[in-house]
Amino acid sequence: MSTQQSIKIENLVKEFGKGDSLLRVIDGASFTVNKGELIALIAPSGAGKTTLLMMIGCVIDPTSGTIWLGEEKVYEDKWITHNSRKIRREKIGFIFQAHYLIPFLNVIENVTLVPQTNGVSEKQAKADAMKLLEYLDIADKAHSKPSALSGGQNQRVAIARALANNPQIILADEPTAALDSARALSVVQMLKKIATEQNVAIIMVTHDERMVQRCDKIMKIENKKIIFEAVEIPS
Amino acid sequence: MIHLAQKDISHTFGKFIVTAMGVGMLLGIVLIMIGVYRGLIVDATNLLDDVNADIWVVQENTLGPFAESSRIHEDLKNTLKAIEGIDKAEAITFQNIQLYTNSKPIRVEAVGFDPFGDIDPINPLHLIKGRTLNRAHYEVVVSAETGLNLHDHIDIGRDSYTIVGITQKTVSSGGDPLIYMSLKDAQQLQFSYSNATIRNDRDRGAVSNPDLHIVNAIIGTIKTGYNNNIISDNIARWKHLSVYTNNEQKEILTKNVVEKSSKQIGLFTIILVIVSTIIIGLIIYTMTLEKIKEISIMKLIGIPDGVIIKMIVQETVLLGFFAFIFGNIFSHLTYDKFPKRVILEAPDALTLFGVILIASVIASFVGVAKVVHADPTVAIGG
Ligand SMILES: Nc1ncnc2c1ncn2[C@@H]1O[C@H](COP(=O)(O)OP(=O)(O)O)[C@@H](O)[C@H]1O
Ligand SMILES: [Mg+2]
């Protein structure tokens, strides 16, 4: 197996419900995402985008198939890993449509919560977090509560939180949907920069054509399976 | 590591403090209840401690003079004095009477003793104004709790008495204020017949010949070097009397007089502690529900349950701690407003503190169960 591979999925199936109400959302998906790639995941609403990301993130149980994260096979018809939460906090960064910051923690505490849980010292975690916040141009708000920040500012903090554990994989579920187009574009540019500079594999769910153009590949869910398309840059 | 409980509490500090005050009042009531119990015990034995006798001689086969009525002859004190090992012996009477003052009737317990005798049941430490009795008639010393003042005159029975002394915190085993009068006055009051009764009896051909030389108990002290129990047993065997040492008398009082009330109060206290635990549990449950989205997010980004559970348990214990502080403040502000004696003791408060800490941890389980079952995908929806 290639050392460039970050996510490898084989024959992944996901069903919800039982009997008459059985719903197969993903029906034998197989694909690989390499390190440093920014993938745009496009599919209609209800097609299973969030479900797919949550399976990759070891949050919800697949029905069958195989999932590799980096070198580690985490799922093969059942969970192989015993501590999916450890995998999440050490290998994966999550970004959502809403920022989902913890309201009673200030910006820097939100960003350092996971690294400190991972055993990084408070001092080190704070120094790292300040660098990230500077990188995301939000360092001046380090000691504010999320309630004092605008939507765009909070989303940048949420990105900082997703990056704070130096993840190998970032799973971003419509991270720009709640932002105006200028801010949305800057978020995608930032993700692109992170993917390239830090060799992180990123899957980003989006509906926005202009965002897609910044990505390396397009991933689609068609007939409950995954297909890839090249990004077309209009001339 | 970030102290999550502290951050969460300071985020909604006002609400937290108000909640803690509410629970604190409940705990304050628990402390007062315990204080009432302590007061009951002290009241019950207060008179016994002031009299400070070694033995109590009462009517045969009775638990007198407090738990049962007892009548014996006053001159038994002389018999007692003659017994080897007895130092002093005096007669004493007790009776409940109603005092009529200008404002409202007061129920008191009158203690009759010989002002010229060897034993004065008035504890000098409790005498805050005036003096003890030093005349044979028409003087009383009263508890400050009666509301009467030094040098006032009051009517008791057929006679008028002058208040020559005021004592403090002197009450009967039932919590009624004490008044002290001479033995002769007390006997007159307790055993003499009214003129009407004498007339009626005379009409029926009976002779009213009240025996005024009756008392309720003879109290005695014992010389050093003699064993209270042995002397007490000897008197009981030879003189057809019941004799109790001070400790036995104390036991009779606390057992017979206080046991039921203390069970009542104990049960009340237990119920209040359980209610407090349930209320703390409910509060923590609601606090956890309010945070359920944040808890889901924490689980989603990989925070272990242990970290989140620690936050919930710490918050509960902190709530219990603050409630305990408020409870203490509340009880100390109110305890002296109660009509009967309330005694707040540090060891009781400490015990309650321990109980509340344990109760808080138990109460936090409902929140913890919510944390364990929280679905990490709840926050992000479908
Ligand atoms: N917990 C669940 N139970 C049953 N059905 C679900 C559940 N979660 C998602 N689904 C269904 O799976 C399908 C895919 O959902 P989702 O992954 O959220 O779609 P998308 O993110 O692409 O809009 C939808 O039809 C949805 O109703
Ligand atoms: Mg979705």
Condensed to tens digits (0 to 9), the pLDDT of residues B274-313 reads 998 899 999 999 999 999 999 999 999 999 999 999 999 9
Helices B259-290 and B292-300: crossing angle in degrees, nearest 10, is 60
- Residue that has been written with the tokens 């080897």 in this structure: B84
Instruction: Determine the pLDDT at residue B348.
Output: 92
Provide the mean pLDDT of chain B. 90
Instruction: Report strand pairing: B139-143 vs B86-100.
Output: unpaired
The alpha carbon of A87 and the centre of ligand 1 are apart by a number of angstroms equal to: 23
| Interface membership of A60 toward B (CB under 8 Å) | yes
Tokens representing B340 are 């009967």
Share of chain B above pLDDT 90, in %: 66
Contact A88 B301 (CB under 8 A): yes
Distance of CA A96 to CAs A99, A174, A180, B134, B317, Å?
6, 6, 16, 92, 34
Count of CB atoms within 10 A of residue B203's CB? 8
| Interface membership of A161 toward B (CB under 8 Å) | yes
In terms of Cα–Cα distance, which of A177, A170, A222 is closest to A56? A170
- Give domain status of residue A7, yes or no: no
Query: Using an 8 Å Cβ cutoff, are B380 and A175 in contact?
Result: no
- Give domain status of residue A15, yes or no: no
Query: Using an 8 Å Cβ cutoff, are A175 and A204 in contact?
Result: yes
Nearest CA in chain B to A90: B302
- Mutation target for A interface from B4, B9, B301, B371: give the one with most A CBs within 10 A: B301
A88 contacts in chain B (CB < 8 Å): 300-302
- Give domain status of residue A157, yes or no: yes
Number of domains in chain A: 1
| Spatial separation of the C-alpha atoms in residues B11 and A53, rounded to whole Å | 33
- A235–chain B nearest CA distance, Å: 37
The model scores a pTM over 0.90? no
Q: What is the dihedral of CA A5, A9, A10, A15, to 10 degrees?
A: 180
Contact A92 B7 (CB under 8 A): no
Helices B346-373 and B305-334: crossing angle in degrees, nearest 10, is 150
Q: Which residues pair with A169 in a beta bridge?
A: A92, A201
Give the pLDDT band of residue B382 (cuts 50, 70, 90).
Answer: very low
Cis preceding linkage at B210, omega within 30: no
- A45–chain B nearest CA distance, Å: 10
The alpha carbon of A54 and the centre of ligand 2 are apart by a number of angstroms equal to: 10
- Give domain status of residue A149, yes or no: yes
Query: Using an 8 Å Cβ cutoff, are B24 and B95 in contact?
Result: no
| Spatial separation of the C-alpha atoms in residues B356 and B297, rounded to whole Å | 31
Classify the C-alpha dihedral B276-B279-B284-B285 as positive or negative.
Answer: positive
Q: What is the mean pLDDT of residues A128-155?
A: 94
| Interface membership of A145 toward B (CB under 8 Å) | yes
Classify the C-alpha dihedral A102-A107-A109-A113 as positive or negative.
Answer: positive
Amino acid identity of B226?
Answer: Y
SS3 B107: strand
Contact A100 B11 (CB under 8 A): no
Distance of CA B333 to CAs A33, B175, B320, B329, B336, Å?
69, 22, 20, 6, 8
Contacts of B355 (CB under 8 A, 6+ apart): B273
Nearest CA in chain A to B297: A100
Tokens representing B11 are 């985020």
A48: left (phi over 0), alpha (psi -120 to 50) or beta: left
In terms of Cα–Cα distance, which of B121, B117, B156 is closest to B139? B156
Residues recorded for chain A: 235
Q: Is the per-residue pLDDT at A128 higher than 60?
A: yes
Contact B302 A145 (CB under 8 A): no
A95 contacts in chain B (CB < 8 Å): none
- Give domain status of residue A145, yes or no: yes
- Mutation target for B interface from A58, A89, A117: give the one with most B CBs within 10 A: A117
Count of CB atoms within 10 A of residue A18's CB? 8
Instruction: Report strand pairing: A64-69 vs A5-16.
Output: antiparallel
- A129–chain B nearest CA distance, Å: 14
Give the pLDDT band of residue A177 (cuts 50, 70, 90).
Answer: confident
pLDDT, tens digit (0-9, with 9 covering 90-100), for A84-119: 999 999 999 999 989 999 999 999 999 999 999 999
- A234–chain B nearest CA distance, Å: 33
Q: Is the per-residue pLDDT at A81 higher than 70?
A: yes
Query: Using an 8 Å Cβ cutoff, are A99 and A145 in contact?
Result: no
DSSP designation for B146: G
Q: Is the per-residue pLDDT at B70 higher than 50?
A: yes
Per the structure, the complete domain to which residue A118 belongs is given by 34-59+83-230
Contacts of B96 (CB under 8 A, 6+ apart): B107, B108, B109, B110, B172, B176
Query: Using an 8 Å Cβ cutoff, are A95 and A158 in contact?
Result: yes
Tokens representing B105 are 């009737």
For B146, list phi and psi in degrees, rounded to 5. -75, -20
| Spatial separation of the C-alpha atoms in residues B213 and B73, rounded to whole Å | 6
pLDDT, tens digit (0-9, with 9 covering 90-100), for B103-150: 788 899 999 999 999 999 999 999 999 999 999 999 999 999 898 999
Instruction: Report strand pairing: A38-42 vs A217-222.
Output: parallel
SS3 A75: strand
A157 contacts in chain B (CB < 8 Å): none
Q: Which of A50, A89, A103 is facing B301, going by the closest CB pair?
A: A89
What is the CATH number for A51?
3.40.50.300
Pocket of ligand 1 (CB under 6 A): A 16-17, 23, 25, 43, 45-51; B 382
Query: Using an 8 Å Cβ cutoff, are A128 and A164 in contact?
Result: yes
Give the pLDDT band of residue B40 (cuts 50, 70, 90).
Answer: confident
Tokens representing A222 are 């068609």
Instruction: Determine the pLDDT at residue A207.
Output: 86
Q: Is the per-residue pLDDT at A166 higher than 80?
A: yes
Nearest CA in chain A to B382: A50
Q: Is the per-residue pLDDT at B151 higher than 70?
A: yes
- Ligand in nearest proximity to the CA of A46: 1
Instruction: Determine the pLDDT at residue A235.
Output: 65
Q: Which residues pair with B111 in a beta bridge?
A: B94, B180
- Give domain status of residue A20, yes or no: no
Q: Which residues pair with A64 in a beta bridge?
A: A13
- Ligand in nearest proximity to the CA of A15: 1
- Give domain status of residue A182, yes or no: yes
| Spatial separation of the C-alpha atoms in residues A157 and A145, rounded to whole Å | 11
Share of chain B above pLDDT 70, in %: 98
Amino acid identity of A70?
Answer: G
**Burial letters for B305-332: b for 16+ Cβ neighbours within 10 Å, e otherwise?**
eebbbbbbbbbbbbbbebbbebbbebbe
- List, as one string, the DSSP characters of A127-188: HHHHHHHHHTT-GGGTTS-GGGS-HHHHHHHHHHHHHTT--SEEEEESTTTTS-HHHHHHHH
Write the residue with the smallest CA distance to atom 25 of ligand 1.
Answer: A46
Contact A102 B297 (CB under 8 A): yes
Instruction: Determine the pLDDT at residue A234.
Output: 72
Q: What is the mean pLDDT of residues B359-373?
A: 91
Amino acid identity of B323?
Answer: A
- Mutation target for B interface from A92, A99, A104, A122: give the one with most B CBs within 10 A: A104
Contacts of B37 (CB under 8 A, 6+ apart): B261, B262, B265, B266, B269
Query: Using an 8 Å Cβ cutoff, are B171 and B203 in contact?
Result: no
SS3 B4: helix
| Interface membership of A53 toward B (CB under 8 Å) | no
Q: Point out the ligand 1 atom lying closest to the alpha carbon of residue B381.
A: 18
Contact B304 A85 (CB under 8 A): yes
- Give domain status of residue A94, yes or no: yes
pLDDT, tens digit (0-9, with 9 covering 90-100), for B201-258: 788 877 666 677 899 999 999 999 999 888 888 888 877 899 999 999 999 888 876 7
pLDDT, tens digit (0-9, with 9 covering 90-100), for B315-333: 999 999 999 999 999 999 9
Instruction: Determine the pLDDT at residue A2.
Output: 59
Contact B302 A60 (CB under 8 A): no
Query: Using an 8 Å Cβ cutoff, are B372 and B66 in contact?
Result: no
Instruction: Determine the pLDDT at residue A170.
Output: 97
Query: Using an 8 Å Cβ cutoff, are A40 and A229 in contact?
Result: no
| Spatial separation of the C-alpha atoms in residues A61 and B8, rounded to whole Å | 32
